[in-house]
A and B are shown apart, each in its own frame.
Chain A
Amino acid sequence: MKSKRVLITGLSTYWGGRLAQALEPDERIEALVAVDNEEPSVELERTEYVKVGTQHALLRRVVEAAEIDTVVDTRLVVDSATTSPRKAHENNVIGTMNILAACSGPDSPVQKLVFKSSGHFYGCEQDDPAFFEESMGRPHAPKTPIERDIVEAEASLRDFAEKNPLVDVTVLRFANVLGPAVRTSHIDLLSRAAVPMILGFDPRYQFVHEDDVVHALEHAVQRELPGVFNVAGDGVLALSEVAGLLNKPYAPILPPWGTGLATAALRRLGVKVPPEMLNQLRYGRGLDNRRFKVSGFRYGHTSRETVLVLGEHLRLHPLLRSGAQEPYRYEREVEEFLRWSPHVRGSQTRNRPTLSPEQVSELQKLLEARSEPEAEPGPPPDDPLVEADPEPAGAVAAEPEPPEPKAPEPEPDPGPPFEAPVDHYDDLAAEEVISLLGSLEHEDLLALRAYERDHAGRKPVVGAIESVLARRGQPHLG
């Protein structure tokens, strides 16, 4: 896996947040940076949030400073009911262009790009094949704004892939997503008392579960998968079948002719039928999902099971709504404190900043520079504080590869003094040392870390020094 330093765009969207949460436990990923111009809507542990939209100059600085090797773009708006067409265009077309601009160039560290697209790329027409394969384009030019945007965004991606042949570009085209947590126009429609249909039509529908979407993105990050892939659950259902699975009657209330006028009337009643959905309600769409399965992906849910899960959720929803938890709110200072403060302790909170992978690599460089075998920090395995955390020493030992040529920060002279930079250092308790750290200079901290490692080797102290160092070392990411 070559993805070690990942940047996620669109963190505040449902998919960005879910993906960040899913990637956090993966220890192979050293750095997890996420950007958006809105604050994240889910609780995150080690993902570093940078408030930046799609301004390519700023993004490029973030990408280069953090040496991002993988960019996952989850921002695409595929449902025109969620925002205005102008904003959707701005996000889908201009935003994608900017992100690609931030990743391109001969000296860009980006080696891989994962793009979340949609089955709307294919559209829905009368003379469509029953199963769209990835190699098929659109038989007809797109007619709705969202579809136009998606086609345009994919076109710029194709262009990017051609101009940057060394970058792996993965495009995932998802079928309609259903699930208990996500909100889409189709879920809206299926939550009504009856499922609205166009008279005389029973379109074929394919769904994908929200968890499968996240897993698919994860799968694409973890593997080398250049190319386009359809992601859709097994099985194509007729809409009448979907209504049956949800235990709802279907209501053919939309007339086959003048359907657009009828939906305008429905909109006044509060039922939103976005234009790109109208053709799907008429002709339906099926995707050939086999190429993604060949790449090793296994779906957790078939289309039918996805609908059943939604049905269960819709039945429980009225009961659960009253006791709903307060939604997560992002507080910058709290997040900063939890990530970087030396006072946050591992034993009491899972948010304790352990040795992050960046720090491990820094440590590794330091070790190699000194090339002293006894400097390998092997904390005793029975240390209760260490057991709950990812094992930093193990991570170092498991990475025999040489350090990256471009170090993010210059290392000081390789032979630090072996004297305690603080008087009577050995007499101090770990807590006392930690409380002193904030007042020390960078050089002193490095020296202290080396000293502590060689002498007492107290794990909490070393960890705290690392976090202070890391916090000072990356002011531009804050």
Chain B
Amino acid sequence: MAQSSRSTLSRSHQESANGGGASLPAVRDEELREHLPGLEPERRLTDWGRSERIEGLLDRTLVDFLYKQWFRAEVEGIENVPSDGGALLVSNHSGALPPDAAMIGKAIKEEHSRPRPLNITVEHFFKGYPGFSMLIPKIGCVAAHPANVHRLLADEEQLVLVFPEGRKGTEKLYKDRYRLRRFGRGGFVEAAMRAQAPIVPVAVVGAEEAAPVFAQLSVLKKLTGLLYVPVTPTFPHFGLLGMLGYLPAKFKLRFLPPIRFDEPGLHEDRGFVQTVAHDVRALIQEELLDMVGKRRSVWFG
């Protein structure tokens, strides 16, 4: 269910023009970083609304079962995820109520030598939809606003996962599986460059078969106000729980070596941003084709 929005991530601070009452004196980023709010150990939520209790509960039950028994996830290159500092994970995206985000987060928790929480960027839509609005932040999702991504990467030095395909990735039908959609407008590259955080491309195989989408019901979509209403093997005929009716496809996750941007000011070069975005997309597409080509069975790997 996690997805990044193509339009929002790439939106720059166009609002700054109608901003403050007077000119703002320059404050250095390092100085700001020192003044992040301290941790209050009595609290159960973070400032982003993340609840370790709810997340932990879900992690120990449903996600653990899916990761170990149902999808039998196999992970390659987990050492490519940096163990400190901010990093932007970029992945392909698929499936109705996509399980890929949860699996990437779980893989880092299970396999990495220094497990860290993963912030999953989602569309602003979820903040406005009752129910989702309450639950989504609790399990570690944040809205895909460029300012949010920058704060997480640069100031709080956390891991952030984006799906640059966004909605187009989850909307695509089974017949288009493993063919990456356009990678937005390169907003994710710009965010990483601005924060000088590395990009870690991730290729995920299995999600397309786990939750295949055969058709989209545009009438229901309009009636419910949801992003899309897909037809899957178990939805809508088994009701809402049918959204969780994943097929037991074998999951393979491959973390690719990080791409670093250590020079400041790279993000101002639009052409360079677009080129890097294109390259990252090509890289993931190549890996996907390689992984699918080597796969003997959809269910057993």
Contacts and interface: CB of A to CB of B under 8 A. Distances in A.
B21 interface: yes
Contacts of B138: 202
Given A131-B151, A227-B20, A304-B43, A202 B133 contact: yes
B118 to A, nearest CB: 16
A158 B42 contact: no
B27 interface: yes
A135 B130 contact: no
B38 interface: yes
Interface in A63-100: none
Contacts of A154: 21
Interface stretch (B45-53, B68-76, B236-244): B45-53
B290 interface: no
Given A241-B44, A290-B35, A294-B27, A129 B145 contact: yes
A256 B17 CA distance: 34
A241 B45 contact: yes
A283 B147 CA distance: 17
Interface in A229-252: 234-238, 241
Interface string B17-30: 11111111101000
Given A127-B145, A200-B130, A286-B47, A227 B23 contact: yes
A226 B25 contact: yes
A304 B40 contact: yes
A311 to B, nearest CB: 14
A304 B39 CA distance: 11
Contacts of B131: 200
A158 B137 CA distance: 36
A201 B133 contact: yes
B150 to A, nearest CB: 9
B37 interface: yes
A228 B15 CA distance: 15
Given A129-B148, A290-B36, A291-B27, A135 B45 contact: no
A115 interface: yes
Contacts of A161: 21-22
A294 B18 contact: no
Contacts of B44: 241
Contacts of A293: 35
Contacts of B48: 130, 236
Interface in A259-298: 282-283, 286, 288-291, 293-294
Contacts of A282: 128, 133
Contacts of B177: none
A60 interface: no
A238 B36 contact: no
Given A136-B15, A137-B19, A157-B21, A127 B124 contact: yes
A128 interface: yes
A325 interface: no
Nearest to A117: B21
A238 B46 CA distance: 9
Nearest to A134: B20
B143 interface: yes
Given A171-B21, A291-B32, A294-B31, A241 B134 contact: no
Contact of A227 (B21, B36, B45): B21
Nearest to B130: A200
Contacts of A288: 151
A158 B47 contact: no
A152 to B, nearest CB: 12
A169 B22 contact: yes
A130 B142 contact: yes
A286 B47 CA distance: 9
A187 to B, nearest CB: 21
A288 B47 CA distance: 11
Contact of B147 (A129, A289, A294): A129
A56 interface: no
A201 B21 contact: no
Contacts of A228: 19-22, 24
Interface of B: 8, 13, 15-25, 27, 31-32, 35-38, 40, 42-45, 47-49, 124-125, 127-134, 137-138, 142-143, 145-148, 151
Given A130-B143, A130-B148, A294-B31, 7 more contacts: A129-B147, A131-B151, A157-B21, A169-B22, A202-B137, A304-B42, A304-B43
6 contacts: A126-B127, A127-B124, A134-B20, A169-B22, A201-B134, A202-B49
Closest 6 CB pairs of A and B: A200-B130, A234-B37, A228-B20, A256-B130, A137-B18, A129-B147
